[in-house]
């Protein structure tokens, strides 16, 4: 089972390496990882998707909280949250499939961000399940290349990570 964890850390050199080292050193897998500064440039937010049972997740949370650069660990298991991912997909668009690619892109509200005589590059954001559905529909046309950002998440409601309204 996949679990999504946000880790707020000091935005300093080597922090990403220490977090990644924590996972690799204990044999925990990272399915995806995205990192960027928050509104406060001294704090970065990592969104980590990992897998494992409840015991492994508890170990990960404890180990992350022990890192000196960690400000807060938010485990979204069992919580309501908003999840989005950005994907760029380069797909074959030969004469006979161009209209079908555009029709599928329109259904999923994907944007065409590059056009060549033989391909389209689509940009889409959304929940990972929506992204997976688009990929499956485009797969028969021939996906040439694909890049996914990995999900980013925020908890639902008015509270921020500091707990303020």
Chain region(s) in the chain for CATH 3.30.70.260: 2-75
Q: What is the pLDDT along the chain (165 residues), one digit of tens a residue?
A: 889 999 999 999 999 999 999 999 999 999 999 999 999 999 999 999 999 898 999 999 999 999 999 999 999 988 899 999 999 999 999 999 999 999 999 999 999 999 999 999 999 999 999 999 999 999 999 999 999 999 999 999 887 777 655
Q: Report the C-alpha gap between 165 and 145 in whole angstroms.
A: 42
Supply the pLDDT for residue 2: 86
Chain region(s) in the chain for CATH 3.30.70.1150: 82-152
Q: Specify which residues 91 forms β-bridges with.
A: 120, 143
Supply the pLDDT for residue 1: 80
Supply the pLDDT for residue 135: 97
- Give the helix, strand, coil percentages of the chain, each rounded to 5: 30, 40, 30
CATH number for the segment(s) 2-75: 3.30.70.260
Q: Report the C-alpha gap between 104 and 38 in whole angstroms.
A: 34
CATH 3.30.70.1150 is the classification of domain 82-152: yes
Which residue, among 16, 22, 46, has the nearest Cα to 161 in the 3D structure?
A: 46
Q: Could you tell me where the beta strands, DSSP code E, fall in the chain?
A: 2-10, 30-37, 43-51, 70-75, 81-92, 111-116, 119-126, 143-148, 152-155
135-143: long-range contacts at Cβ-Cβ below 8 A with a sequence spacing of 24 or more? 135/87, 135/89, 137/104, 138/89, 138/91, 138/101, 138/104, 141/91, 141/92, 141/93, 141/97, 141/100, 141/101, 142/91, 142/92, 143/89, 143/90, 143/91, 143/92
Q: Are the C-beta atoms of residues 135 and 84 closer than 8 Å to each other?
A: no
Supply the pLDDT for residue 159: 77
Supply the pLDDT for residue 143: 97
């Amino acid at each position: 089972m996949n679990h999504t964890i946000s880790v707020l850390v000091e935005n300093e050199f080597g922090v990403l390496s220490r977090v990644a080292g924590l996972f690799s050193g204990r044999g925990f897998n990272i399915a995806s990882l995205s990192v960027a500064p928050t509104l406060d440039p001294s704090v970065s937010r990592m969104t980590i998707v990992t897998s494992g049972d409840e015991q492994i997740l508890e170990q990960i949370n404890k180990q992350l909280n022990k890192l000196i650069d960690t400000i807060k660990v938010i485990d979204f298991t069992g919580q309501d949250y908003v999840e989005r991912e950005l994907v760029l997909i380069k797909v074959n668009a030969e004469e006979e499939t161009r209209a079908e690619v555009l029709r599928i892109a329109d259904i999923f509200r994907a944007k065409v961000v590059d056009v060549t005589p033989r391909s389209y590059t689509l940009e889409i954001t959304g929940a990972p399940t929506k992204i997976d559905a688009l990929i499956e529909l485009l797969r028969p046309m021939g996906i040439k290349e694909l890049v996914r950002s990995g999900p980013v998440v925020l908890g639902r409601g008015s509270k921020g990570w500091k707990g303020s309204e």
